[in-house]
Amino acid sequence: MLSKEENEIVTRVGPGTPMGNTMRRYWVPALLASEVAERDGPPVRVRLMGEDLVAFRDTKGNIGLLDELCPHRLASLYFGRNEECGLRCVYHGWKFDVSGACVDMMNEPGENDFKHKIHIKTYPTIELGGLIWAYLGPAEKMPPVPKFAWTQAPEAQRHVTKVIQENNWLQGLEGGLDTSHAPIMHRALTETTTRGGFKPSNPFVRGKAPKLVVDLTDYGYQYSGIRPLGDSEVHIRAYHFILPFHQIRPSKSESGAPMDAGHIWVPMDDDNTMVFNWVFSKNGTPLNEEDRLERSLGNGPLHVDQKTFRSHANKSNDYLIDRKVQKEETYTGIEGINAQDRAIQESMGRIVDRSREHLGPADKAIIQCRKKLRDAVRAVESGGTPDGLGTTYYTLCASEGVIPREADWRQELTPTMRPEAILQTV
């Protein structure tokens, strides 16, 4: 558990907070690239770590991420005109380019022009992997761009979606890192159900409760769930946590092709989270339309409003829980693996009181995550560099398999994790 004071430190992300200052040292996904696909198209509201911003793509294709309020009379630039390489406030015609420079003042005569003195707050952006990433930290401390392996895959082999979750970012992250819940909450009760989930024959479900091994690294950690299968085999599922809020996990396409998948839990503010969900084909197989619907996960266009990014199954309708399905087909009766996650994580309240928890050995990954986050905060507060700002995560992949109990599972399943990269095993 955490004390109330520690919980405040790791959950609050607004400007000037310890965790907010720390998070601003990383590249942060701000929105889907598809939300600003059109040059000179409509601007988009972005709420990011307690700040209200607008994003737009200019005439040349560059992305601007500006303070939402015009510095003249504080009108919202969401209503602005995106034209000729700038966003123009419709109130008095002040216009700003992607760098934040004021380039025109329609309401001022030429002799009174002082646009060179005006600059709106703006943040650097890059477009990578179907996302627009932003850097909100000190310019002199900007880290390398976030070239995760999935961001380097061709568009035909990757897919990314977004859904808004109504709780603190850390509840989402910890849910993703909790490998012991997955074969319980996400299990299907029959082999024939079409509602998704891990089927009874899946070794992830057949195996016993996992022993967790956490290998601490300079980017976060690799964590592996080891489940005995019978007398001679084990099922291994190895994931990665990359600071401050990334997870990489093994997955499969609808056709059974090996994929990596993961989530990024980005705080909009203390109480709301943008969850970016991604998959990519590791063997070069293009994703098909069924893969992109994400039926079994509940993140795609059938389950999430693509304008508001709010899930159709939500708190107001009890996540469309079906008690008959819960008795006969799936453990929860809620459609979609990630919809189940949202239901349970939101049920904990906007910010869970971690001082009331009772953690056990199965929560090792969560305990180490909290330590990593507190260490990152301390590093920033002392003027140092937090973990996860290098490039060692660029080639990371997840893995899963059934192997003989006496086999070296690290060599068999995680050969990309070099022994020298492991700082400590806990």
* pLDDT tens digits for range 194-243: 888 999 999 999 999 999 999 999 999 999 999 999 999 999 999 999 99
pLDDT in tens, 364-397: 999 999 999 999 999 999 999 999 999 999 999 9
Half-sphere exposure of 343 (CA within 13 A, CB side): 22
pLDDT given at position 111 = 87
pLDDT given at position 36 = 98
Q: Is the pLDDT of residue 336 over 80?
A: yes
Please, what is the angle between helix 169-177 and helix 337-347, to 10°? Answer: 130
CATH, domain range 27-141: 2.102.10.10
Instruction: Give residue 417's pLDDT band: very low, low, confident or very high (50, 70, 90).
Output: confident
Q: Residues 352-359: what's their mean pLDDT?
A: 96
- The Cα–Cα gap between 339 and 325 comes to 15
Instruction: Give residue 113's pLDDT band: very low, low, confident or very high (50, 70, 90).
Output: confident
DSSP 272: -
pLDDT in tens, 19-46: 999 999 999 999 999 999 999 999 999 9
- The ranges of the chain annotated as CATH 3.90.380.10 are 149-425
Q: Which CATH architecture has domain 149-425?
A: Alpha-Beta Complex (3.90)
Q: Give me the chain's average pLDDT, please.
A: 96
One-letter amino acid at 233 equals E
- The ranges of the chain annotated as CATH 2.102.10.10 are 27-141
Q: Residues 340-354: what's their mean pLDDT?
A: 97
Q: Which two tokens stand for residue 249?
A: 């996990």
- The Cα–Cα gap between 336 and 41 comes to 33
Q: Is the pLDDT of residue 160 over 80?
A: yes
Q: Is the pLDDT of residue 416 over 80?
A: no
- The Cα–Cα gap between 8 and 79 comes to 35
Please, what is the angle between helix 364-381 and helix 169-177, to 10°? Answer: 130
